[in-house]
């Protein structure tokens, strides 16, 4: 039993959890450390509980996947928390870039108010709903998930030219929809 890696409930128990699956895989000190790492990483206070839950989930997934339990759960959890903080910043930057891209679709002089901006957001969402699935998929992957064309093509198993064509057609349809609705 010494030489083989721990799996399933054994790994969970070794990581500080109860083999019956009832105890928290993070003790209070580990949770405080995870919260501190997330907070120092710039994650807003409101999102800290979600970050702690993500660390717990990853520890449980690791155990359920049969992977060996980390030797130092506290250090492992801190590294995971640090990675989550970086992911949070990346997602925030993606959202900011998306907002900039959507703002570029409209003419600022015509719609200066925040109310008009929300009208634009609703119109874009409705336009996305009306696109064929293949076009909507590439628009979401490109502009919302911020994936490069090459990655989209690889993930979907289609040529890059097909992705570009779908994007072009979808953006043209969205622009037409926004002009038709007199949003831009």
Total count of domains within the chain = 2
Is 60 contained in some domain? yes
Whether residues 74 and 36 fall in one domain: yes
Whether residues 111 and 88 fall in one domain: no
Is the pLDDT score of 91 beyond 80? Answer: yes
Give 159: exposed, middle or buried? Use CB within 10 Å, 0-12, 13-18, 19+: exposed
- Residue 38 φ/ψ region, left for φ over 0, alpha for ψ in the -120 to 50 degree band, beta for the rest: alpha
Is the pLDDT score of 74 beyond 70? Answer: yes
Whether residues 125 and 54 fall in one domain: no
What range does the domain containing 161 cover?
105-180
Is 87 contained in some domain? yes
Whether residues 88 and 113 fall in one domain: no
Is 98 contained in some domain? no
Is 97 contained in some domain? no
Whether residues 62 and 136 fall in one domain: no
Alpha carbons within 13 A on the beta-carbon side of 147: 19
List % helix, strand, coil for the chain (3-state, nearest 5): 70, 0, 30
Is 100 contained in some domain? no
CATH of the domain at 154: 1.10.10.10
Please tell me whether the overall predicted TM-score, pTM, comes out greater than 0.85 for this model.
no
Q: Which residue has the tokens 């919302």?
A: 144
pLDDT digits (tens, 9 = 90+) for 105-145: 654 445 445 555 666 677 777 888 788 888 888 887 788 77
Whether residues 88 and 135 fall in one domain: no
């Amino acid at each position: 039993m010494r030489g083989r890696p721990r799996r399933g409930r054994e790994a969970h128990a070794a990581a500080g959890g109860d083999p019956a699956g009832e105890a928290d895989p993070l003790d209070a000190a580990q949770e405080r450390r995870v919260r501190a790492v997330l907070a120092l990483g710039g994650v807003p206070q409101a999102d800290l509980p979600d970050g702690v839950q993500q660390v717990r989930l990853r520890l449980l997934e690791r155990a359920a996947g049969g992977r060996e339990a980390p030797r130092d759960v506290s250090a492992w959890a801190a590294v995971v928390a640090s990675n989550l903080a970086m992911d949070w910043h990346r997602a925030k930057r993606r959202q900011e870039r998306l907002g900039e891209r959507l703002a570029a679709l409209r003419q600022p002089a015509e719609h200066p108010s925040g109310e008009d901006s929300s009208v634009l957001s609703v119109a874009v969402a409705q336009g996305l709903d009306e696109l064929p699935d293949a076009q909507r998929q590439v628009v979401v992957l490109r502009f919302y998930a911020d994936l490069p064309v090459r990655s989209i093509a690889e993930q979907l198993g289609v040529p890059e030219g097909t992705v570009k064509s779908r994007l072009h057609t979808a953006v043209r349809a969205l622009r037409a929809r926004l002009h038709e609705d007199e949003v831009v």
